[in-house]
Amino acid sequence: MNNPLSFDELLDYLDNDESQFVLDSVATHGFLTATIIGRPLPNWLDALFEGHVSDIPANVIDGIQRWRDSIMAELKNETPIELPFGENAGNEEVAVDFSEESDIVAWSIGFVDAMYGDEASDWFEDEETAEDVAVLTLPMIVLSGIDDEDPELAEMRADEDKMAQMANSIEGNLTELFLLFHTND
């Protein structure tokens, strides 16, 4: 790579409103996290850029791959993934922004986009683990607002305490999902 981007330059590119076919940096982190902890997503770059990989500068793709590698290294070193949303997201005593514009919602949207990024990579296909996967991914699904028509999910979204509990569970759930998909016990 002749002209690699620094991490800050990569974030600037992703957060630039004029950059086409990209999620913002927070949603991209959620997307990358899901591609690492969940079922393999062989076409993750294509899914991330909505089939427009050829329209994305090579140094951006390189930066995304390096970012994904660093998230994977965190997990391999048994370090919890550093989530890119407010420290107070799981603090039930502090009012947290769960609006559509919030970072925790953007991150969850990116995560869920990767979860469903390829029909051939079904996170729920194993009957023995499907219920665990459903429970562990519920916070991200609820926070993402992906299924606005579901009355149960809408009821959960309306409960600020429930939302704070879900936000607080994300970090632990990511570890559990990683172990569920990447260990053979």
Q: What is the mean pLDDT of residues 70-98?
A: 74
Q: What is the mean pLDDT of residues 70-80?
A: 87
Query: What's the full length of the chain, in residues?
Result: 185
pLDDT (tens digit, 9 = 90+) per residue, 35-73? 999 998 899 999 999 999 999 999 999 999 999 999 999
Give the C-alpha separation, 44 to 25, whole Å. 16
Percent of the chain, pLDDT > 70? 92
The helix-helix angle for 151-158 and 130-144 (nearest 10°) equals 60
Cα torsion at 146, 169, 115, 110 (round to 10°)? 60
Which pTM value belongs to this model? 0.91
Q: What does the DSSP 8-state code read for residue 57?
A: -
pLDDT (tens digit, 9 = 90+) per residue, 89-137? 445 555 567 888 889 999 999 999 999 988 878 999 999 999 999 999 9
State in Å, rounded, how far the first CA of the chain is from the last one: 40
Q: Which domains does the chain have, with CATH numbers?
A: 7-182 (1.20.120)
